[in-house]
Amino acid sequence: MTQAMLLAALILPGVLLGASVASEQTPADLQTRSLAATCAACHGTDGNAAAASATPRLRGLDKDTLVREMREFRAGSRPATVMQQIATGFTDEQIDRLAEYFASPK
Amino acid sequence: MNRRRLVQSLVLGSAAASVAACLGQRTRPSAAKVVVVGGGYGGATAAKYLRLFSNDAIEVILIEPAPQFISAPLSNLVVGGYLQLADLTVSYEGLRRRHGVTLVHDRVTSIDAVGKSVSLGAGGSIRYDKLVLAPGIDPMFDAIEGLEHAHAQGRILPAWSAGRETTALHAQLAAMPDGGVFAIAIPEAPYRCPPGPYERASLAAAFLMQHKPKSKVLVLDANQDVVAMTGLFKAAWQELYGNILEYRNHCKAISVDGAAGVVRFEVADDVTADVLNVMPPVRAGALALQTGLANVNARWCEVDFLSFESKVAKEIHILGDAIQAAPQMPKSGHMANGHAKVAAAAIVAELQGWQLDPAPMLTNTCYSYVSGQEVIHSAAVYDYRAEQSTFRPVAGAGGVSPRRSEQEAKFARAWAQNIWADMLG
């Protein structure tokens, strides 16, 4: 929320919760954030894993790389302990949305 | 410029388009206020993600009596002497400082679901537009005769939650004579953390093998078999602790004598032990029961899985171990973290007047230590099935480790580090 919106929300309650959220995201954005949040327990909020984490950071990964790796996990051609079992649970369309989300700067 | 004109110019300037868009939608009487009760894996995650997903537009108040978060996952490493409680302890301050969550360290004594407010132990009450209830579990001491008394005397410690009991249970093990018996009694599923008791038995065995090798671990299970990662646990026990760990199924504890160190079962023979870790059945936390939200067997709370809203009370969303889980969904910290995000997104959408996400997803990974160094896991992915109104495991996804490994211990620690930051950082 911008400072202006915060001020407006404080002083003119009534309309502005809706306005402040709507102005910054669409229903589809929220659904993608929620989808990406299923990765966060192991890979950090918004893909920002802890510095020394054995599980990799996803934020900032190139989109094509993440899509390719997820498909390799699904195919079983990329070695993993957990990720073959997790990647298999997601569709191509979901993997595309995830990869696009994590590739965006944040 | 006076304040009104300033505000008007701000609104008309930077936000005119969105205000216009919004006027056609539902409006709220004021900036929405969500009260989150309980600061565990579910509640703390909900508090943070309500702020994140609403771009800080929702006011969030987290009410939790404990001054700091202590993780139950990994706490069996404290029982086994590999970690200290401090290693599992995280401050709540990040939620306040980094995300603007208001922290109230107090106990909620009652919920007024009609008047939409919660009463605090210290007096006073807080109104809410929506309530997120993450009450955790309470042991059902009355299910095992004599247990409440033995527990009050400090003789038998279920240690369902991480804290003083966890440390005290390790102290009991450490004080046990070499050649003594440690017995763990496991209730019928469902209970919190399906692999937890078996992990605890493994780490107790590891500790005793190293420090008191003439001792014995008895795993007394009310279930017909190990309920999680069965083959992996049994292989580890046979290969690592063959001489000291014994597993017995169909052992449903019905009474204990804390002073004599005896546990009695419905069918199986009595067991006498130096340290008795009798884990009674559990149910949703008392606050859920007293509010009338535990509508399944007076134990669990039924929710709508698109929003985690209670089936019996509007505007109350319930998370974590307290809910009547979807099929094959374990009561785990990881699941509670996932519940919280689905609920937070649903609350934001609802306050916005949007339709709820029709296809939310959940993931789960449970890591279990079978020794101080080696770990196994169970993983699953769940998608929402509209025709069944519930989550189901995605076919073909999920599974367990092929074998125990030190590599997975690194992932287990990374999981803890990242999920604690995801909740609290």
For every residue of B255-323, DSSP letters joined together read: EEETTTTEEEESSSPPEE-SEEEE---EEE-HHHHHTT---BTTTBB-EETTTTEESSSTTEEE-GGGB
Q: Answer yes or no: do B31 and A16 touch at CB < 8 A.
A: yes
**Any alpha helices (H) in A12-62, and if so which ranges?**
16-22, 27-36, 40-43
| Burial class (CB within 10 angstroms; exposed 0-12, middle 13-18, buried 19+) of B3 | exposed
Task: Give the distance from residue A104's alpha carbon to the nearest chain B alpha carbon, in angstroms.
Answer: 17
The residue assigned the tokens 């008392």 is B286
Closest CA to A35 of B97, B5, B381, B316: B381
Q: What is the pLDDT of residue B6?
A: 35
CB B220 within 8 A of CB B265: yes
Q: Is any Cβ of chain B less than 8 angstroms from the Cβ of A61? A: no
Torsion sign, CA atoms B217, B221, B226, B228: negative
Total number of domains constituting chain A: 1
Q: Answer yes or no: do B57 and A53 touch at CB < 8 A.
A: no
- Taking 50 as the pLDDT cut, the residues of chain B under it are 1-29
Which residues of B are less than 8 Å from A70 in CB distance? none
Q: What are residue B316's phi and psi, to 5 degrees?
A: -115, 115
From the list A12, A39, A85, which residue is nearest B398 (CB)?
Answer: A85
Q: What is the pLDDT of residue A17?
A: 54
Q: Answer yes or no: do A16 and B19 touch at CB < 8 A.
A: yes
CB A87 within 8 A of CB A39: no
In sequence order, the 6+-apart residues with CB closer than 8 A to the CB of B230 are none
Task: Give the distance from residue B422's alpha carbon to the nearest chain A alpha carbon, in angstroms.
Answer: 5
Task: Give the distance from residue B237's alpha carbon to the nearest chain A alpha carbon, in angstroms.
Answer: 21
Q: Answer yes or no: do B53 and A30 touch at CB < 8 A.
A: yes
Which residues of B are less than 8 Å from A86 in CB distance? 363, 365, 379, 381, 397-398
Percentage of chain A beyond pLDDT 70 is 77
From the list A25, A37, A88, which residue is nearest B341 (CB)?
Answer: A37
Which residues of A are less than 8 Å from B51 in CB distance? none
Q: What are residue B248's phi and psi, to 5 degrees?
A: -130, 130
Q: What is the pLDDT of residue B26?
A: 42
What is the domain-level CATH number for residue A46?
A: 1.10.760.10
Q: Answer yes or no: do B379 and A86 touch at CB < 8 A.
A: yes
Higher-scoring residue by pLDDT: A79, A18 = A79
Q: Which residues pair with B180 in a beta bridge?
A: none
Closest CA to B45 of B118, B95, B87: B95
CB A55 within 8 A of CB A42: yes
Say if strands B253-257 and B89-91 run parallel, antiparallel, or are unpaired: unpaired
How far, in Å, CA of B242 to CA of B34, rounded? 52
Q: Is any Cβ of chain B less than 8 angstroms from the Cβ of A81? A: yes
Q: What is the pLDDT of residue B27?
A: 40
Q: Which pLDDT band, with edges at 50, 70 and 90, does A21 fall under?
A: low
How far, in Å, CA of B397 to CA of B166, rounded? 34
CB A74 within 8 A of CB A86: no
Which residues of B are less than 8 Å from A4 in CB distance? 10, 13-15
CB A38 within 8 A of CB B361: yes
**Domain housing A67:** 26-103
Q: Answer yes or no: do A14 and B338 touch at CB < 8 A.
A: no
Q: What is the pLDDT of residue B25?
A: 42
The 10 Å Cβ neighbour count of residue B115 is 10
For chain A, give the number of residues.
Answer: 106
| Domains in chain B: ranges and CATH | 30-65+106-140+282-356 (3.50.50.60), 142-281 (3.50.50.60)
Q: Which pLDDT band, with edges at 50, 70 and 90, does A18 fall under?
A: low
Interface test with B, best of A86, A95, A98 (most B CBs within 10 A): A86
Beta-sheet strands, E only, within B140-195: 181-186
Six token digits for residue B421: 């930051």
How far, in Å, CA of B15 to CA of B110, rounded? 40
How far, in Å, CA of B388 to CA of B327, rounded? 11
In sequence order, the 6+-apart residues with CB closer than 8 A to the CB of B150 are B156, B256, B257, B258, B259, B276, B278
Q: Answer yes or no: do B54 and A42 touch at CB < 8 A.
A: no
Minimal Cα distance from B42: which residue of A? A41
CB B22 within 8 A of CB B11: no
Whole-complex ipTM: 0.91
Q: What global pTM score does this model have?
A: 0.91
Return the H-helix or E-strand segment holding B310: strand B309-310
Within a domain: A11: no
Torsion sign, CA atoms B319, B164, B208, B84: positive
The 10 Å Cβ neighbour count of residue A76 is 11
Beta-sheet strands, E only, within B49-93: 59-63, 68-70, 89-91
